[in-house]
Amino acid sequence: MSTTHTYRDLFRLDGRRALVIGAGGIGLEAAKALKDHGAHVTCADQDIGTAQSAAEEVAGDPLQLDVTDAAAVRRAAQDLGPLDAVVLTAAMNVRKRILDYSPEEFDRVVSLNLKGTFMVIQQFGAPMVARRSGSIIVFSSIREEVVEPGQSVYAATKAGAVQLVKTAAAEFGEAGVRVNAIAPGVVETSLTHQIKSDPQWYQAYASKSALGRWSVPSELAGAVVFLASDAAGYVTGTSLRVDGGWTAIDGRFTPPTPP
């Protein structure tokens, strides 16, 4: 930390440029938090309407971007120029058991969650390495570690994304570029509507966490700001769990204890 700064400045992002890919839900809250800490934010999404709406909220720039399109990711990295932070939230899940999965569904999930992650790390990491600074933040999931029926391909891609993060951290580290993941638990978003619409399923997930509830997208924003800022200057190659204690708890039963 520079002698001209105080610890109060550790989380400030003034003058820095950030890109958030996947600008709805968690991505929107991440963009708001980055903006409120001083960053200029580009909001990217496959849906240009979502990108534009997010950009308006943070006085940033919209960008239509499909991370499964390697050429488009390459062009975006070139056109945007030097970035200080890149946040990738875009992902998808097809919730089916292994015996019911089709090859086409497998390819769709892997293409976005794994290939897309690789392309973002590769293409946006290259200019960061060249200028010897930057932070890449990939959203993983508790499914990188724990699973349930119907999560096979999604969980495999999230575990794979974490290994990409670790390898990029090892390869980019000597250039001063940090690469990390954030692993949320269950989050109240439009993508979890299927679960929320089933009261028993919804409550089962709520009770699995130590806090006894779901999270909301804004509760992920602090982790993004931390990993993008100088406060995390020595943090790389890790997966930061923001899961309400989900992965800390053994089972869903609270045994009786002696008085």
Check whether 120 has a pLDDT greater than 90. Answer: yes
Judged by DSSP in three states, 243 sits in: coil
Judge whether 101 counts as a catalytic residue: no
For CA atoms 183, 189, 191, 195, the dihedral sign is positive
The whole-number average pLDDT for the span 38-64 is: 98
Report the alpha-carbon distance of residue 233 to residue 56 in Å, rounded: 30
d(CA 206, CA 66): 32
pLDDT at position 101 is 98
User: 183-237, pLDDT tens digit by residue?
Assistant: 999 999 877 777 888 899 999 999 989 999 999 999 999 999 999 999 999 999 9
Cα dihedral 170, 139, 231, 171, rounded to 10, equals: 10
Q: What are phi and psi of 226, to 5 degrees?
A: -55, -50
Catalytic residue among 101, 154, 205, 234: 154
Q: How far is CA 55 from the centre of its chain?
A: 18
- Per-residue pLDDT, 1: 44
Question: What are the structure tokens assigned to 102, written together?
Answer: 């089709």
Per-residue model confidence as pLDDT tens digits over 53-64: 999 999 999 999
pLDDT of residue 241: 97
- The pLDDT value recorded for residue 194 is 78
Distances (CA, A) of 2 to 9, 10, 85, 206: 10, 10, 20, 43
Instruction: Name the percent of the chain lying above pLDDT 90.
Output: 88
- Report residue 45's pLDDT band, with 50, 70 and 90 as the boundaries: very high
* CA dihedral over 80, 82, 84, 87, signed as positive or negative: positive
β-bridge partners, 138 = 88, 181
Residues sharing a CB contact under 8 Å with residue 93, sequence separation 6 or more, in sequence order:
109, 151, 154, 191
Average pLDDT, the chain: 94
Compute the average pLDDT of residues 237-257.
Answer: 88
Q: What is the pTM of this model?
A: 0.94
**Model confidence band, residue 4 (pLDDT cutoffs 50, 70, 90):** low
Distances (CA, A) of 181 to 46, 63, 224: 21, 23, 9
Calculate mean pLDDT across residues 79-108: 97
Q: What strands, in cross-sheet order, belong to the sheet with 61-64?
A: 61-64, 40-45, 17-21, 85-88, 134-139, 177-184, 239-242
Question: Amino acid identity of 59?
Answer: A
Nearby residues of 259 by Cβ (< 8 Å), 6 or more positions away: none
* 3-state DSSP helix/strand/coil % of the chain, to nearest 5: 50, 15, 35
pLDDT at site 259 = 76
pLDDT of 3 over the 80 cut: no
Over the stretch 152-168, which tens digit does the pLDDT of each residue have? 999 999 999 999 999 99
Mean pLDDT of 92-109: 97
Domains of the chain by start residue, with CATH: 7-187+216-242 (3.40.50.720)
